Structure 1
Amino acid sequence: MKEKKKKKISGIQKRNNLNFYLYISPWLIFFLALTVYPMIKSLSLAFTDSSFNGKGNFIGLENFLQAFTADPRFWAAFKNTICYVLMYVPLSLILSFFLGWLLSRNVKFLGFWRTVFYLPYITAGVAVTILWGWIFNGTYGVINYILSLFGIQGPNWLGDKRLALGCIVVMCLWSLGNQILIMLAGIQDIPDSYYESAKIDGAGTLRQVFSITLPLSTPTIFFNLVIGVISAFQLFNQPYILTQGGPVNSTVTVAMLIFQNAFQYGKMGYASCIAWCLFVVIMIFTGIIEVTQKKWVFYDN
């Protein structure tokens, strides 16, 4: 049999290949150094009793046994985090779709309204969280002051274990600007011909929303859903600054538990164990979304 001739690579192709690897090398180096290596290192620490300096002895599955059987804050943190995800993510999707749809309806000063809705997203941080703490303050907060004008005595919002997590959800919903703009872009990408045909058939505004806008926005909703779930599971700043996990561990989150064990208690091995448990839970939720999206995401192709 005749040997197959090897395909010769031209000089231009070689140079293009070299340029490609040169261009991606900074990202690849940082990805390996700041993502892959820390993940491998944390996985190895999860099976040790390492302290803050990263030195410790191999103890097998003891960290996982402690988490699942002897640490009540572990289950409280996962319960609170999952409750937050189940409250925040659906509300964020509904609000971002509704506001994105409103902004797509030929409103005046569209650029101004985009800026108004996006500003909370870029200003969200420690200062804004403290500001919300003043708003929810049970003694001199703005909400309770307004309620007092109507003769209503407001509760201690962040000091009540039944209300504290809900207050954090409201606070985080305030900074939906990024999701709103993504949703607006997806809605504006829908061809006008669909709406024109619907109008000819006598479809009203609500019928157009539920029969055209919503189905054709499902790819954008799917994107926001995945990103929202992943980010919601990593909630840390708001409960850590406002409540420190209280009252009675009602707002302690998994990310906060990881931080406390690693940097306050010096249990780096145990913190790595919790981090990998969180990683597995996020992967499960993301996998469920990925599998089920075939039944509800409509791609117009």
Structure 2
Amino acid sequence: MKHRIKKEEIIGFIFISPWVIGFFAFTLIPMLISGYLSFTEWNVLTGLEGINFVGFENYSEIFTDDEDFWQSLKVTFTFSFIFLPLSQVFALALACLLNQKVKGLKIFRTILFMPTVMPAVAVSLLWMWIFNSQYGILNRFLAIFSIQGPDWLQNPKTSLSALIIMGLWGVGSTMIIFLSALQDVPSSLYEAASIDGITPFKRFLYITVPMISSTIFFNLVMGIIGSFQYFTQAHVMTKGGPLGSTLFYNLYLYNVAFEKYEMGYASALAWIMFFIIVFFTALVFKSSTLWVYYENEGKSKGKKMKGEQV
């Protein structure tokens, strides 16, 4: 019996070993190295001999003398605080529509999910054509209603808005997760509420939202991480312009690391963003006890209350 258990443990370790090796080789060890490099001044072109330990000088310079840091932080926060709630609401609305029993539902689901599986670079090139001020399809559509469309990507006032609009087009993965959660809500709850004369809006507010709150929590956490790491679209479409209006944090970090080759400074920037993401994620986790409902916890609490009454 003991021999069989040991054999099963060995087989289990063999199966999880690729993930463990990958975690150490591509996540933990690089993080530790970048943590050390954040306290150094190192231009990659000088080789390992050029690494000079400077303590907290990188962090001091970032917070006191680096205007691009504050601009990139402003752009990233603005994008995240606008795009994140819009994307969650939009994805949930689409999921509710796709949860209805209508003809051709599978076709609609496929069409709405398809942008998610398209390469980010290809999507960026497509939207560059859509946003083109002269022959872009968006401005031509606006011209039908006698509206003069702006130069979306070349105007500092509209460039960030253009990226937000493009981002809403790719909420397919969030939508599918919401859809699976909606389909798990017991229909008996809606039937009972309907018999009692509860309006559809109240049914959504008091039944649907609490029952899918754990899914909202998951999508919110993933959305926070994704929005703060926004990079590819801005790099391909605007390069951070015009006038720094789309200079996202990750784009600025990329420029410092792979255009200026200041790897120590870039590592410090990376760790600052890491702690920002950890802070907001922890904030959501802390608040989840107030608004996230888990069915199993609800049942266990009910049983506990009954036991206390007895």
Please classify the TM superposition score into its range, dividing by the shorter chain length.
over 0.9
Which residue does the alignment assign to 2:4?
12
CA distance in 2 between partners of 1:104 and 1:139 (Å): 39
- SS at the partner of 1:157? coil
Q: Specify which of 253, 259, 274 is matched with residue 279 of structure 1.
A: 274
Which residue does the alignment assign to 1:23?
15
Greater fraction of residues in helix:
2
Q: What amino acid is the match of 1:51?
A: N
- Asked whether the equivalents of residues 52 and 263 of structure 1 are also in contact (C-alpha less than 8 Å), the reply is no
1:75-112 CA-to-partner distances (Å, cap 9, x unmatched) read 00011001111011101110111111111122222221
CA distance in 2 between partners of 1:108 and 1:213 (Å): 23
Q: Specify which of 80, 95, 99 is matched with residue 100 of structure 1.
A: 95
User: Quick check: 135-144 or 23-32, which moved more?
Assistant: 135-144
Q: What amino acid is the match of 2:292?
A: V
Q: What amino acid is the match of 1:28?
A: V
Q: Unpaired runs of 5+ in structure 2?
A: 297-310
Which residue does the alignment assign to 2:191?
196
**Alpha-carbon deviation of 1:237?**
0.9
CA RMSD of aligned residues (A): 1.3
- Asked whether the equivalents of residues 243 and 251 of structure 1 are also in contact (C-alpha less than 8 Å), the reply is yes
1:182-236 CA-to-partner distances (Å, cap 9, x unmatched) read 0000010011111111111112322211111111111111100000110110000
TM-score (norm 1): 0.94
Task: List structure 1 segments (4+ residues) > 3 angstroms apart after TM superposition.
Answer: none
Q: Specify which of 89, 103, 106 is matched with residue 111 of structure 1.
A: 106
Which residue does the alignment assign to 1:44?
36
User: Quick check: 252-261 or 145-154, which moved more?
Assistant: 145-154
Q: Specify which of 21, 24, 27 is matched with residue 32 of structure 1.
A: 24
Which residue does the alignment assign to 1:68?
63
CA distance in 2 between partners of 1:291 and 1:265 (Å): 39
- SS at the partner of 1:159? coil
Paired residue total: 293
Alignment of 1:104-143 (within 5 A): 104-143=99-138
CA distance in 2 between partners of 1:275 and 1:123 (Å): 27
**Alpha-carbon deviation of 1:150?**
3.4
Task: Quickly say closer, same or farther: Cα 1:101–1:151, change in 2 above 3 A.
Answer: closer
- SS at the partner of 1:107? coil
- SS at the partner of 2:258? helix
**Alpha-carbon deviation of 1:147?**
2.5
- SS at the partner of 1:140? coil
Which residue does the alignment assign to 1:288?
283
CA distance in 2 between partners of 1:52 and 1:132 (Å): 35
Q: What amino acid is the match of 1:16?
A: E
1:236-258 CA-to-partner distances (Å, cap 9, x unmatched) read 01111111101111110111011
- SS at the partner of 2:108? helix
CA distance in 1 between partners of 2:236 and 2:113 (Å): 23
**Alpha-carbon deviation of 1:124?**
4.1
- Asked whether the equivalents of residues 46 and 272 of structure 1 are also in contact (C-alpha less than 8 Å), the reply is yes
Q: Unpaired runs of 5+ in structure 1?
A: 1-8
2:216 matched to 1:224? no
- Asked whether the equivalents of residues 77 and 257 of structure 1 are also in contact (C-alpha less than 8 Å), the reply is yes
CA distance in 1 between partners of 2:164 and 2:158 (Å): 10
CA distance in 1 between partners of 2:201 and 2:101 (Å): 17
Q: Specify which of 168, 173, 186 is matched with residue 168 of structure 2.
A: 173
CA distance in 1 between partners of 2:10 and 2:130 (Å): 56
